[in-house]
Chain A
Amino acid sequence: MIDAESPDRLDQLLARYFRPEAAPPGLTRRVVTATRESEAGLARLERSLAIQATPRGVSLIRVGRLPKPATATARRLAEQAREEIHEYLRGQRAFFRVPVDLVTMPDFQRRVLEAARQIPFGEARTYAWVAERIGHPRAVRAVGTALGRNPIPLIVPCHRVWRSDGGVGGYLFGTDVKRRLRALERATPVLEGCTTTHIVCRVGCIHGRHMRLENRVIFASVEDARSVGYRPCRVCRPAA
C-alpha cells in the first residue's frame, strides 16, 4: 500500500513515478528519418477530383471529369465540398459541413453509407460492424460491395472501414490512399481551443481558420476544455 498521507510524501511519490527514463537508443535517428520520409502525398489526389452536386447536397466525387452542377445552389455546394476536402486533406478539418445527397440511392446502400458516416473521425470499424449496425449481420460481403460503390468517398468515410483481421480491404482510390487517409486522420486533432479567446471549436470551424499556431491548444473533450475555463463555440457547437 502506498502511504500518501502527507503532501510531501505524495510529492516524492509523484516525482519518483514521473522520473524521466533514458531515451531508447536510436531515438534521434528514427525521428529524423521519419521526418524526411513524411510527404503529403494526397495533394495529387485532390487535384484530380471532380465533384457533382444536386441542390440537396454532394452526389458524386470521382477522379476525372464530371459535368458542371446544373443549378447555382448545386454549384455552390460542389464548391463548398471542394474547399472542405482541401482543408481535410491538409489536416485542417475534422468534420464535413456540406450536406450529401443519398436520396436516390437503393435502400441497402444508403443504410450502409449512413452507418459509415457514424464512424468517428480518426477511427476505424470493420465490415462486420457496419453489417451489424444496419441489422444484417450476415451481409458482410454485400456491405463491402456497397462501400466499394460509395459515390461520395472522403465525405462519406468508407475509408474508415477495415477488415476484421486488420487488413486494409479495398478502396476506390487505392489501398495506399486508404492508408494515407488513416495516417492523416490520426495526425489531425478534433477539438482546438484558442488561448486568446478561450473558445473551443471543432477543427475546421471558421473561427479557427486564422488562429496562429502559438494560440492553439488541443483538448480531448469539451468537458476537459470547460474544466480549465474554455467555452464551446456557438458556431460549430462541439458539445452537440
Chain B
Amino acid sequence: MESDRALMERVARGDQAAFTDLARRYGARLLAVAARLLTSRADAEDAVQRAFLQCYSGAAGYNPRWAVSTWLYRILTNICVDELRRHATRTAYDERAHAGGPALGSANHRPPDAYLDLHRALERIPREARILLALRYVNGLSYGELARIRGISINTVKSQLARGKSLLRVELGEQGAGHD
C-alpha cells in the first residue's frame, strides 16, 4: 500500500484520486473523534468534510516531518474546538432566549443509557481535558501525538488526562450516590 506521505505529495499536486484514497483511509477515524466531541452526527460529518477540504487546499503547506495522521487530527481538532466554542455561545444565547426551556441542540446526541452518566460527567470536565480524552481513547493516540495535535508539552498532556480522569471519578461517584 502506498505510504501516507506519498499520498499527501500527490494530493499537494492536485491529484483527485489520491485525495479520494486519503479520505477513504482516514474518514472513519476522523468521524469517530468528531462524533464524540460534537453534539450531533450532522455537525461531526460537517467537521470531517471541512477538515478534508482544509487538508486539500492546504496540502502544499504540509510538512513531511509530521505523520499525515497527526496532521489530519490537528486540522480536525482545530475545527471541532471552534465548533465547541460556537456551540457554547449559542447555547448560552438560547438559554437566555428561552429561559427555563431546554437548550437547542442538547437533545441531538443521545448516548446509550449505559453511558448516560459518563456522557454527562464528560460534559462537566474542562474542555481541553475532554478533547484529549476523546483523542486518546477513540484512536489510541500516544502522548507525543496528543502533544503535537494540541500544541502542548507531553507533561501537560499527562497532567490534563490525569486531572480529567480524576474529575470524572468524582462526578461519577457523586452521581452514583445521588441515584442510590
Contact = CB atoms under 8 A, between A and B. Distances in A.
Chains A and B belong together in one complex: yes
A45 interface: no
A195 B128 CA distance: 15
A103 interface: no
Contacts of B10: none
A129 B134 CA distance: 36
Q: Is the interface of B mostly helix, strand, loop or mixed?
A: helix
A129 B44 CA distance: 29
Interface string B96-121: 01000000000000010011011100
Interface string A6-34: 01001001111111111110011011101
Contacts of B77: 217-218
B150 A228 contact: yes
B47 to A, nearest CB: 10
Nearest to A119: B93
B28 A22 contact: yes
A187 B90 CA distance: 16
Contacts of B138: 18-20
B84 A217 contact: no
A32 B16 contact: yes
B142 interface: no
Contact of A20 (B29, B56, B58, B153): B29
Nearest to A214: B63
B156 A229 contact: yes
Contact of B89 (A23, A38, A120, A224): A120
B85 A10 contact: no
A27 B45 contact: yes
B169 interface: yes
B85 A228 contact: no
Nearest to A16: B115
Contacts of A19: 138
B148 to A, nearest CB: 8
B23 A28 contact: yes
Contact of B139 (A16, A20, A38): A20
Q: Which of B36, B115, B151, B160 has the most CB of A within 10 A?
A: B151
Given A17-B115, A214-B66, A217-B74, A2 B172 contact: yes
B28 A20 contact: yes
8 contacts: A2-B175, A17-B137, A23-B27, A27-B45, A212-B61, A215-B151, A224-B127, A228-B128
Chain A to chain B: the 9 pairs with minimum beta-carbon distance, closest first: A195-B151, A20-B32, A23-B28, A18-B137, A220-B85, A217-B151, A218-B78, A189-B82, A4-B172
Given A27-B28, A129-B97, 8 more contacts: A21-B31, A21-B35, A24-B45, A123-B90, A213-B61, A221-B127, A228-B128, A228-B156
